[in-house]
Chains A and B, each alone.
Chain A
Amino acid sequence: MNAIEIRGLQKSYRVYQKKEGLWASLTGLFQREYNEVEAVRGIDLDVAQGEFVAFLGPNGAGKTTTLKLLSGVISPSGGEAHVLGHVPWKRENEYRRRFALVMGQKNQLWWDLPAQESFQLHQKIYRIDPEQFRRTRDELVDLLEVRHLLGQPVRELSLGERMKMELTAALLHSPEVLFLDEPTIGLDVVAQHNVQKFLKHYQAERKITILLTSHYMKDVVALCRRVVIIAQGEIKYDGSLAGIVDRFSGHKVLTLQFADGRMPGDLARYGDVLEIVEPKARLRVARSSIADVLSSVLANNTIEDVSVEDPPLEEVIAKMFAHTANEKKSEAVLPVETS
């Protein structure tokens, strides 16, 4: 059964065009010019119950806008979507009790109060049964190891601790669908890892549906089997993580370790030389010719060690984003992620 069904979803809005210079800002007093920005241009997507899906895309691709559309914060300019059978922008309380949105760059906890007071407020707003509220809260703070921080004002917490509290707050009403917008942004490696571990465990246990956007490949690698790539408001790829490399990169990275002082001078004939640190060399070789290159290298040199790898995921995706951005420049308006 699908938890999320999206058909032809569109969102466009107007932005005020500020002009450079003194005179222009003076005339701006009297007339404003607007540009129409298409943030989401017809997205189709199905997400099954219990899936953990990652949204990838460059800044301004429409990821956050899509999440906001699905949570009913904003209304679309066209298309349809159903989440758990509800149309999000009808904003029925029944629906609002069944999902949660966490945004890494924004906080919804009361800044000057201990997190437990904000939790109390959530209990009242979501009408969570007191007994169940206590159980859920205790379970969450124990899993996230922040129980000892419950009484501390949120402003005194570190970024990582605050994110854990945000997650707790969002999960108190046991949502069936969770939207995560860059939940690990700005966190250090340890905190990032902790949040990933928690999300993985929680999702596996509760079988909830999660949509995640992130700039950290590590999040995606650790959590999601399915990846959706959005650029310029359209879906460019939908499939497995490994499939991205197959699809968008025609190369492999070949690492060779030569016996002492035996490195040949003409490595370039095998492929693009990425790096040479004696006795190791890294080459980029077209996927189609990897077998030929390998046999030729092994036949002509004394090799101590060899490995063939896919290029790093980050690199492939960065290249793909850069490519789509170039494509984009030929069009008039660049979408701006305003949030």
Chain B
Amino acid sequence: MIARVQTWWTILRICLEERLVYRGDFALGTLMRFLPIVTQIFLWTAIFAAAGSGKIEGYSREDIIAYYLLTMLARAFSSMPGLASGIARQVREGEIKKFLIQPIDLVGFMLLARIAHKVVYYAVAAGPFALVYYLCRSYFPGWPAPDVFAAFLLSLALAFAVGFFMEMTLGMISFWFLEVSSLLFVYMLFTFFFSGHMFPLEILPDPWRTIVDFLPFKYLAYFPAAVFLGKIEGDAMLFGLAVQACWALFFIVACRVFMHRGFHRYSGYGG
């Protein structure tokens, strides 16, 4: 048991170091990532100025901007840049063999690598995030009640889980189709549009509004933000958390099943 913990710890540490090598201009890069928010603020100010009434679908101008800032935070948890495409590349180049040969679990390894990735990112991005949130504090309705805030934190953690395992599942598909870049593009398009990253999902007309409720994407960005802003409260909030947890569980199982089938197929055909 201790040996296993040590193995995982070593993997985590190596991944952390590897991330730090790609120091790039992390902090500056994170600040840059907020630039689109600036244009969003101006764009929505212009939209609200022309719309006349103070609210669009229950959102005031301040709400919308707070919403965008919160989805950025949610996406910082749920987005997994390069995860599925990385697996696809490993399959294509035969690198995936090492998980068949060495006594490491692919999903576990990827999870640790991603956690390392995220930890480094949060460590460096915390400053810029705090700065932008502080500058934009007037847009927020204030701190939510403790139980809502707890639910918000939980939904962020679950957003990470849903994002990670969903993309892992997608990555496993590359065992069947070598070229998955187009599939990944469709996935990216869907997450961008239907996660609520681009606009509050309330704006969507029916039937889209209903369809989106049945998809896992909204738990990647929209849901945590809506919880924080009090758009989803009480039982609806608890129900939402439960559904989010179910999606996470679903993809945990799905990616394992796909992995085992994929390995089976891979070893059967020979890389």
Contact = CB atoms under 8 A, between A and B. Distances in A.
A310 B17 CA distance: 51
B21 interface: yes
Interface stretch (A24-32, A53-61, A162-170, A230-238): A24-32
A225 interface: no
Contacts of B124: 29
Nearest to A22: B17
Nearest to A18: B21
B20 interface: yes
9 contacts: A18-B21, A21-B17, A22-B16, A25-B17, A25-B20, A25-B21, A28-B20, A28-B23, A29-B26
Contacts of A26: 20
A18 B21 CA distance: 9
Interface in A4-40: 18, 21-22, 25-26, 28-29
Nearest to B26: A29
Interface residues of A, number: 7
Q: Which of B16, B23, B26, B124 has the most CB of A within 10 A?
A: B23
Contacts of B231: none
B151 to A, nearest CB: 34
Contacts of B13: 22
Contacts of A28: 20, 23
A114 to B, nearest CB: 23
Contacts of A22: 13, 16-17, 20
A15 B23 CA distance: 16
Interface in B14-55: 16-17, 20-21, 23, 26
A25 B16 CA distance: 10
B31 to A, nearest CB: 15
A21 B17 CA distance: 7
Interface string B140-161: 0000000000000000000000
Which 4 residue pairs are nearest across A and B when measured between Cβ atoms? A25-B20, A29-B23, A22-B17, A25-B17
Q: Which of A18, A21, A25, A28 has the most CB of B within 10 A?
A: A25
B49 to A, nearest CB: 43
Interface string B1-20: 00000000000010011001
A18 B23 CA distance: 12
A254 B26 CA distance: 65
A22 B19 CA distance: 10
B124 to A, nearest CB: 8
Nearest to B123: A26
A29 B21 contact: no
A28 B13 CA distance: 16
Contacts of B23: 25, 28-29
B5 to A, nearest CB: 18
A26 B13 CA distance: 12
Nearest to B25: A29
A22 B21 CA distance: 10
Given A22-B13, A25-B20, A25-B21, 9 more contacts: A21-B17, A22-B16, A22-B17, A22-B20, A25-B17, A28-B20, A28-B23, A29-B23, A29-B26
B8 to A, nearest CB: 16
Contacts of B26: 29
Contacts of B20: 22, 25-26, 28-29
Nearest to B18: A25
A36 B39 CA distance: 45
B93 to A, nearest CB: 15
A25 B24 CA distance: 12
A28 B124 CA distance: 13
Contacts of B21: 18, 25
B200 to A, nearest CB: 36
Contacts of A18: 21
Nearest to B16: A22
A18 B17 CA distance: 12
Nearest to A26: B20
A29 B17 CA distance: 12
B266 to A, nearest CB: 24
Q: Which of B17, B26, B124 has the most CB of A within 10 A?
A: B17
B122 to A, nearest CB: 14
Interface in A33-52: none
A22 B23 CA distance: 12
B2 to A, nearest CB: 21
Nearest to A32: B23
A16 to B, nearest CB: 11
A213 to B, nearest CB: 31
A94 B21 CA distance: 43
A148 B108 CA distance: 50
